[in-house]
Amino acid sequence: MLTRREFLRHTALGSAALLAAPRLRAAPADSALARLRARLVTAESLGTPYLRDSLRLDAPSPAALTVQTHLADPAHSGRRREGWTVRGGLPAAYTWVTLRDAPMLGTRTQWAQLSSRSTQTGVAPDRHGLVEMRLCRGTTSDDVPVRVRLEDGCFYILSLNSDTVLAGDRTTPLCPLVPGADYTLGVLLFAKAIYARLAGPGLPGGAVELVVPDRRRFIPGRPGFGLRPAASATGGELLVFDWQVTPVGPAPPCRLGLIGDSITAGNDQEPEGESYAHLVTRALGQDLVLNTGSGGSTAMLDLARLPYEIAPFRPRLLWIEGGSNDLAAGVGAEEVFKNIMRQAELVRWDGRAVLSTLVPRAPLTAPAKAQLVQLNRLIRESGRPFVDRHALVCDPADTSRLRPEFAQPDGVHLTLLGHALIARDATRLFRSLLP
């Protein structure tokens, strides 16, 4: 993987560029995205599809969708013979589609792609409306929302909770759109970065790339897309005819994969490479990190997404770390432990599950603290190898709290010193478990 310095140099984007929207750049054949994708594999390529829908009426496996529309008559949008379409020329004709009845991916390592086409008539080449892709949600204006748009010839990444442009240009069209031509939008989430690539006729170099590095963690959300045709169109339609979302991971052999919550995900404010997930993975000789820790995730959600986000990549060691958010929500230790063990039982390849005690968490009610103690006892007595995170970072004077030097101000997440300590202990254990 590129070092932080090399990454910023190659993408020409730093913190200052996030405040002043980066310029659009044509994607060279040997682009940052192309180099990274060459070293990754998708779950779909390994035989585990998450979402692939042609969006046509005769789609072999149409996805279950939740539709929101601003149309007075929803009959003007929906699945049609060629794909999901909205008729042109309708005022405020915005429709929004999200995936339904599928586990929410942790969205830390994910590739998504959609293909669109406009057949609208009576509009200028650079006024064909909006096609949008979303892959996760945000709870504050600082969270990473993935809202990538092709709008009236402009290509940009926009914050979910505000109109802040994270990359691209929202005001200057990139090129006139060709009516009836196919445009493909691909988005890769990896290592807290967002890579977006738009390809189609008339684009400089045939494709344009945007990169937003070092953003905050991704928060699970239903993948979806939106469409808004040009209100001035006299006819035709705007449609999306292919839609794909799939987790990604390092090409085999994969030595370590992690699943869990925000503690697994690593600190928001620090570079990804300073989390214990990265420190341990690289100490084991694997440079690309399979870390599916996700803020707010629970052991139940981890159980649902493990077959998509971890299992296809068959890591020799699967480090299971969830449960803290379950206890905070009032779920009992026995139920949490069952879901952790069910995850371990899903390791049906040539690999091994490693558990992890929960670190102290403040504030917790007295009953929840007792459940945490019970859950950690169950993990220690499970008969499976485990990393005793709790023993490493708890305060000896009050084991229900983190030691001050290991605690972020919220009393839940770990400092870099805490990450480094856990990494050293876990590395010793994992080296003893690997051949």
Domain ranges of the chain: 4-248, 252-433
Evaluate whether 224 touches 134 at the Cβ level (below 8 Å). Answer: yes
Q: Which CATH architecture has domain 252-433?
A: 3-Layer(aba) Sandwich (3.40)
pLDDT (0 to 100) of residue 216: 60
Place of tokens 């490493």: 392
User: Which whole number is the average pLDDT over 43-50?
Assistant: 95
Strand (E) positions, 213-316?
224-228, 237-250, 256-259, 290-291
Burial of 58 per CB tally in 10 Å (0-12, 13-18, 19+): exposed
Report pLDDT digits (tens) over 87-116: 998 888 899 999 998 888 886 789 999 999
CA distance 312 to 309: 7
Which of the pair, 416 or 13, is modelled with greater confidence?
A: 416
Confidence of residue 208 (pLDDT cuts 50, 70, 90): very high
Percent of the chain, pLDDT > 70? 88
Q: What angle do CA 422, 423, 427 make, to 5 degrees?
A: 120
Quick one: tokens of 95?
A: 């429709």
pLDDT (0 to 100) of residue 345: 97
Task: Determine the straight-line distance between the first and last CA of the chain, rounded to whole angstroms.
Answer: 24
Evaluate whether 419 touches 359 at the Cβ level (below 8 Å). Answer: no
How many Cα neighbours within 13 Å face the side chain of 157? 33
Report the interhelical angle of 333-345 vs 299-309 (nearest 10°). 10
Which of the pair, 205 or 188, is modelled with greater confidence?
A: 188
Report pLDDT digits (tens) over 51-73: 999 999 999 999 999 999 988 78
CA distance 18 to 182: 30
Average pLDDT of the residues of the chain:
87
Q: What is the CATH number of domain 4-248?
A: 2.60.120.200
Q: Which amino acid is at 54?
A: S
Q: Lowest mean pLDDT: which of 5-14, 135-144, 361-370, 423-432?
A: 5-14
Pairing of strands 193-199, 182-190: antiparallel
Quick one: tokens of 383?
A: 């008969």
- pTM of the prediction? 0.87
Strand (E) positions, 145-267?
147-151, 154-158, 165-169, 182-190, 193-199, 207-212, 224-228, 237-250, 256-259
Radius of gyration of the chain (CA): 23
